[in-house]
Structure 1
Amino acid sequence: MIRPITKCDFELFWPTFSAIIEHQETYAFAPNMTVEQAYDLWCEQPLKTFVYEEQGEQLGSYYLKNNAAGPGSHVCNCGYMVAEQARGKGIARQLCEHSQQQAIALGFQAMQFNSVVSTNAVAVQLWKKLGFSIVGRVPKAYLHRQLGYVDTLVMYKWLID
């Protein structure tokens, strides 16, 4: 169900991606981004990008990339998206668990989420359940479409026992 994404997969996932960035509730991506810009950002720039496919439908995706270089290169960063009609079915959990396995296989020792929108309670709760801690709060760092300026959270997990 989770496999490396292809350009065709991303084009099929584009309506989900586009809807998420247009809502301006969880991602600090330009809401008018083109499919080409989005593909570059989500699939070309990261080290790896995966898609969650079920019965020929692309229901979720994540990217995995370095969070920093040099002395910080042991920490990775990921971003996740799940189609609206597939939320609440455990797909984000599966994507996050898969990303942690991939990160370890790639030699990363920790994972950091740099900008989790604090009002995204479902994501914050899930990341906590999966062992992430809130290690920082950035006041009013995200302009939420409906709520105005809200805080973002920095969440972190050490992956190696």
Structure 2
Amino acid sequence: MHIRDATPDDWPAIWPFLRDIVAAGETYCWDRDTPEDRARATWFKPGGRVLVAVDEDPAGTVLGTAEIHPNQAGAGAHVANAGFMVDPRHAGRGVARALCAHVLDRARADGYRAMQFNAVVETNHRAVALWQSFGFDVLATVPAAFDHPTEGPVGLHLMHRTL
């Protein structure tokens, strides 16, 4: 697997699994019916960076994607925020772990001093465990802040680590 900066040409490979993950409503605070144009503008936000993990196959299959952006503007811009999505067809191959390691290195190289995740769904146990394995701490959990489609109201973790 190789991780590189995404290009506009990667969007057609990202959109199908991003759409399905958002529509499932289990891990992202997005409208479940987010249209493609809004999803693309949200993922490829101005001032941010988008990465893709691609397979070493000749087609360079996109396995997953991550985006990095300042968590806040101005005096808070030294803290990064990031989002991650892995194509479910490629789950269990270490894609999220590789993307997280790369994102942390890239954020540090870009001058960020910390990274914060504002809304990690507490029932997303694999993601919570992964982020904790990279040194993120749960600073707080907002109770019942996320309406999970099968679990009902669950908490959202605020997670943080210094870089």
**Per the shorter chain, which TM-score range?**
over 0.9
Distance 2:20 2:26 in 1: 10
Q: Which residue of 1 aligns with 2:34?
A: 33
**Which segment is superposed worse, 4-13 or 111-120?**
4-13
**Aligned equivalent of 2:150:** 146
Out of 114-123 and 86-95, give the one that drifted further: 86-95
- Which residue type is aligned with residue 94 of structure 2? G
Aligned pairs, number: 159
Q: Give the counterpart letter for 1:96 in structure 2.
A: C
Equivalent position SS for 2:139: strand
For 2:161 and 2:46, the matched residues in 1 are separated by: 23
1:71 aligned residue: 75
Distance 1:131 1:111 in 2: 11
Equivalences for residues 8-157 of structure 1 within 5 A: 8-54=9-55, 55=57, 56-157=60-161
- Give TM-score, length-normalised by structure 2: 0.94
Question: Shift of residue 44 of structure 1?
Answer: 3.1
Higher mean C-alpha displacement, 4-13 vs 110-119: 4-13
Query: What do residues 77-129 of structure 1 show as CA deviations (whole Å, max 9, x unaligned)?
Result: 00000011111111101101111111111110000000000000000001011
Q: Secondary structure at the match of 2:141?
A: strand
Contact 1:46 1:63 in 2 (8 A): no
The alignment's C-alpha RMSD in Å is 1.0
Task: Give the TM-score, by structure 1 length.
Answer: 0.95
**Whole-angstrom CA distance in 2 between matches of 1:95 and 1:8:** 19
1:46 CA drift (Å): 4.9
Aligned match of 2:6? 5
